[in-house]
Amino acid sequence: MPNYRRWRVAGGTFFFTLATASRRRILITEQSRTLLRAAIDRQRTKRPFQVIAFVLLPDHLHTVWQLPVGDDDYSTRWSAIKEDFTRQFLRGGGQEASVSDSRRFKRERGVWQRRFWEHTCRDEADLKRFVDYIHWNPCKHGLVRQVSDYPWSSFHRFVRGGEYEEDWGSVDPCPDWNEPEWE
């Protein structure tokens, strides 16, 4: 079994990519958006963290979090969020992808991919690159022509805060950069 090593920085800022099982397009329904927001909010109450940027796409999400000083445990938070969402999603009639014998043996459901992709933001420039990538992502995937047209993104909060102009993103700010599109 592979030994996945994650760079842990207490109080760090981290970029994440999480994908649905079999890349099923289940995340932007009203039910899924509501359930995911509630799962994240419940986890933030138990184990605080700041959501710096976020985008929810049909089959995956990207986000940047900052953890509290002295805390580097994002894995427990993601595990709890995925478990909470999965339980509520299936209870509400959501369907899961087919489950392999290995997943069945480990009592895993077919809603999320097993793992997630993470990157520790090293400095302000690195953070900006990931935040720009998050906000550009709906255009990258052909979901909208303009970043401002995508409703499930923190982009609009950044515009209100003066970080971006409303027409930002007319050009790809991260050309030829696919690293965060973890499969």
Q: Which domains can be identified in the chain, with CATH numbers?
A: 13-160 (3.30.70.1290)
- Walk along the chain (183 residues) and give the pLDDT tens digit of each residue: 454 556 678 899 999 999 999 999 999 999 999 999 999 999 999 999 999 999 999 999 999 999 999 999 999 999 999 999 999 999 999 998 887 877 777 777 889 998 899 999 999 999 999 999 999 999 999 999 999 999 999 999 999 999 999 999 888 888 777 666 644
CB neighbours of residue 52 within 10 Å? 19
Counting DSSP H helices and E strands in the chain, the numbers are 5, 4
Paired tokens of 115: 């793992």
Q: Average pLDDT of the chain?
A: 91
Q: How open is the CA angle 175-21-138, to the nearest 5 degrees?
A: 30
Across the chain, the runs of DSSP E, i.e. the strands, are: 13-19, 50-56, 60-66, 117-120
- 10 neighbors 71 (Cβ within 8 angstroms): yes
| Partners of 66 in beta bridges | 13, 50
Q: Which of 74, 61, 58 is nearest to 13 (CA)?
A: 74
Nearest Cα to Cα of residue 8 among 152, 160, 165, 120: 120
